[in-house]
Amino acid sequence: MSAEESDVIRRAADGDTRAYGTLVDRYAPNAMTLAMRMLKDRRDAEEALQDAFVRAFRALPGFERRAKFSTWLYRIVYNVCATMLSRRGEKDEFVRPEEDGEDAAAAIPSDDALPDAAMESGEFTHFVQEEIRRMEGRYSAILTMFLLQEMSYEEIMEVTGLPVGTVKNRLFRARMLLRAAVLKRFPEHSHGVIQ
């Protein structure tokens, strides 16, 4: 955590709403992406985000700074979204670990198996974003945190509360779903697609 961010967090924890506004501005886009991936509805995602930011502001004086602020905040967003899904009867997909989580962990492709920059034309990028959006929430949320928000497995575990095997399993499955969709739509890129 940078000294600047630490100072902003300290001031926000002391009740400085302008400092907290700075944090909201900085983290709202990624938090909204996570909420959209989980809830699949813009209105619900906006409501969840508003609730999460209010909860975070109230809890900020207790933030112990052992984790990154972003991880702490995304955990709150994740919990608020999981609660909303629970009310819809959809909670199980976010909290139920897969039975084969540890076994799939060994098959996780490396980051260099992702499409290279040359493939990422506007059309390709839009297609990938749409495919991630269409995935089941449990897969799109993990893939969003890993690819777009560049979270580590440990950070994703902190946010979701899931064991590492489940995180790796869901990431593996999400990548395979994305790979299949990309190969179907862009067969000419089969050499550089997620393995």
**Residue 84 and residue 102 in one domain:** no
What range defines the domain where residue 117 resides? 98-192
Ordered mean pLDDT values, 10 residues apiece, the chain (195 residues): 84 89 91 90 91 90 83 90 83 49 38 40 72 85 84 89 89 86 71 49
Q: How many domains does the chain have?
A: 2
pLDDT at 145: 87
**Residue 47 and residue 102 in one domain:** no
Backbone phi, psi, residue 193, to 5°: -90, 155
**Residue 147 and residue 76 in one domain:** no
pLDDT at 31: 92
**Residue 145 and residue 172 in one domain:** yes
Boundary residue ending a domain (90, 120, 135): 90
Boundary residue ending a domain (41, 62, 90): 90
Residue 41: CATH number of its domain = 1.10.1740.10
Alpha helices in the chain (DSSP H): 3-13, 17-39, 42-59, 69-88, 92-95, 101-105, 122-134, 137-143, 153-160, 164-185
**Could you give the CA distance from residue 109 to residue 173 in angstroms, rounded to a whole number?**
11
Contact present, 182 and 131 (Cβ < 8 Å) = yes
**Residue 112 and residue 80 in one domain:** no
**Residue 152 and residue 179 in one domain:** yes
pLDDT at 188: 64
DSSP label at residue 109:
P
**Residue 77 and residue 30 in one domain:** yes
pLDDT at 94: 58
Residue 150: CATH number of its domain = 1.10.10.10
**Residue 103 and residue 153 in one domain:** yes
pLDDT at 91: 55
pLDDT at 112: 37
pLDDT at 51: 92
**Could you give the CA distance from residue 169 to residue 173 in angstroms, rounded to a whole number?**
6
Q: What is the pTM of this model?
A: 0.65
pLDDT at 95: 54
pLDDT at 190: 52
Boundary residue ending a domain (90, 109, 135): 90
**Could you give the CA distance from residue 190 to residue 115 in angstroms, rounded to a whole number?**
9
pLDDT at 117: 39
